[in-house]
Amino acid sequence: MYDIQALRKEFPILGREVYGRPLVYLDNAATTQKPRAVVDAITEEYFSVNANVHRGVHYLSQQATELHEAAREKVRAFIGARSTNEVVFTRGTTESINLVASSFGEAFMREGDEVILTVMEHHSNIVPWQLLGQRRGVKIKVVPMDDDGRLDLAEYEKLFTSRTKIVAVCHVSNVLGAENPVGRMAEIAHAHGAHILVDAAQSVPHLPVDVAALGCDFLVFSAHKVYGPTGLGVLYGREDLLERMPPYQGGGEMISRVTFERTTFEQLPFKFEAGTPDYIGTHALAAALAFVERTGLENIARHEHALVRRAVERMQHVDGMRIYGAAEDKGAVVAFNVAGIHPLDLGTLLDRLGVAIRTGHHCAQPLMQRFGTEGMARLSIAMYNTEEEIDRFADALERVCRMF
């Protein structure tokens, strides 16, 4: 039984009003709202445990270290990694990808080597590779897709050469919302002697993600999109690869011994965690993942899919509606345009009616170019959204369209 009203009570912000109307928050792909359990974890740790982790001999430091490392174990189990050595905490998906591009690039890529991306990548999975390209003379190749947003796997396979070192692909696009066949893409990459990074920023909150089942070498996500705190992310990396990659940043925590002549580095995963980590954030992320587990990812997916189906059904009746990507297998994201109405106007007017959606290029300008548009409107759903909210969105959309 999915008790949506009980669930919503765990998210106090959902009870607020904007412009004198009850808030309908449909911008969850940008960031999710936080349950009490997450905010409580933050306050409890600040009020009763707070101390810097890892090197302290005193009680509080040891307790804070235990919570921080317990969070790493929670993440490990959540994504099915073999060892906590494979779980690196970062500032977010973006930093995780920059870390891999920089460090994997330095260890394994030479001038003329190639990376394969897809046309639907978020800028954070494009620009770090371009920066690497500028530094190292690495080439970027792009997997095309059809008009429904399905990647062309035959073309994908043709892109490989003996110089292809890595593929970096989103598990779920933040615009099109459908799941990419990353397991199959990993098999193909490995058959060609290449590695694969999966950007799971938009999948971890919505479907069970298991790094072993996917067969990926790296997987990245952000805490704030999975009901956790901002400014924290995860990099999963296969231990044998991380072992061979150089540190990304230098500083405290990541060293074993320092002299002015030479420094030796800490073991994994600390080699990649320079400076004081966000140990309060990691404890809060563990609380968020526990909350997701209690609710059940399969229940969440079923609930969200039903809401997406309802949204699409209602939206299709709007004159001039174009929904981007195959409607039938969408997870929690629906991007659209209405002919003759600028998406920014749509977003602004919906906001006045209490409905929060996102408009613009969604940090995916190459994808906008692929569809020949400057921008799109996008609603994105989370575990706490309701059928009534979808109807309020659709009613508001119809009203705005009538005004035009």
Q: Is 94 in the site for ligand PLP (CB under 6 A)?
A: yes
Cβ nearer to ligand PLP, comparing 33 with 124:
124
- Within 195-330, strands assigned E span 195-199, 218-222, 233-237, 255-258, 263-265, 321-324
Exactly one of 33, 202, 295, 380 binds ligand PLP (CB under 6 A); which one? 202
- Binding part of the chain for ligand PLP, among 5-13, 197-205, 206-214, 386-394 by CB under 6 A, reads 197-205
Half-sphere exposure of 313 (CA within 13 A, CB side): 9
Cβ nearer to ligand PLP, comparing 104 with 160:
104
Tell me if residue 305 falls in helix, strand or coil.
Answer: helix
Q: Is 206 in the site for ligand PLP (CB under 6 A)?
A: no
Q: Say whether 363 is catalytic.
A: yes
User: C-beta of 143: minimal distance to ligand PLP in Å?
Assistant: 15
- Token couple for 343: 């998406």
User: C-beta of 64: minimal distance to ligand PLP in Å?
Assistant: 25
User: C-beta of 193: minimal distance to ligand PLP in Å?
Assistant: 26
Q: Is 124 in the site for ligand PLP (CB under 6 A)?
A: yes
User: C-beta of 90: minimal distance to ligand PLP in Å?
Assistant: 9
Exactly one of 10, 27, 199, 304 binds ligand PLP (CB under 6 A); which one? 199
Amino acid identity, residue 224? H
Cβ nearer to ligand PLP, comparing 4 with 297:
297
| Rounded distance between C-alpha atoms, residue 7 and residue 307, angstroms | 16
Alpha helices, DSSP H, located in 110-199: 127-136, 153-159, 182-191
Exposed, middle or buried by CB within 10 Å (0-12, 13-18, 19+), for 146?
Answer: exposed
Helix/strand/coil percentages in the chain, nearest 5: 45, 20, 35
Q: Is 32 in the site for ligand PLP (CB under 6 A)?
A: no
- Token couple for 247: 């540190």
- Binding part of the chain for ligand PLP, among 87-95, 152-160, 240-248, 377-385 by CB under 6 A, reads 87-95
Q: Is 368 in the site for ligand PLP (CB under 6 A)?
A: no
- Token couple for 342: 């600028």
Exactly one of 10, 27, 64, 92 binds ligand PLP (CB under 6 A); which one? 92
Number of Cβ atoms within 10 Å of the Cβ of 39: 15
Interface contacts to ligand PLP, rule CB under 6 A: 29, 92-94, 122, 124-125, 170, 174, 199, 201-202, 222
Which residues are tagged catalytic? 363
